[in-house]
Amino acid sequence: MFEPHDEPPQLRTNAKWLWFVMIALLIALAIIWALDPEVEHNQNSAEHSVLAER
C-alpha cells in the first residue's frame, strides 16, 4: 500500500468512496444471493416435476 504522505488528499477521498461503493455492492450481492436460493429451489422443483412426469 502507499504511504499516506505520498497520496494527494483527493486520492484518499476517492479511495474512501471506492471502499464505500465496494461494500455497498457486496451488501447488494448478499441480498440478491440470499433471495436467489428460493428462486433456484422453485426452478429445481419445476424441473423435478417435469422429470417425474416423463
User: Which residue did the predictor score with more confidence, 53 or 15?
Assistant: 15
Give the predicted TM-score (pTM) of the model: 0.45
Task: Give Cβ neighbours of residue 4 (< 8 Å, ≥ 6 apart).
Answer: 12
Residue with cell 440478491: 32
Q: What is the pLDDT of residues 2-30, one digit of tens each?
A: 555 666 677 778 889 999 999 999 999 99
From the centroid of its chain, how far is CA 26?
A: 4
- Strand locations in the chain (E): none
Alpha-carbon torsion (33, 36, 41, 47), positive or negative: negative
Please tell me the predicted confidence (pLDDT) of residue 13: 82
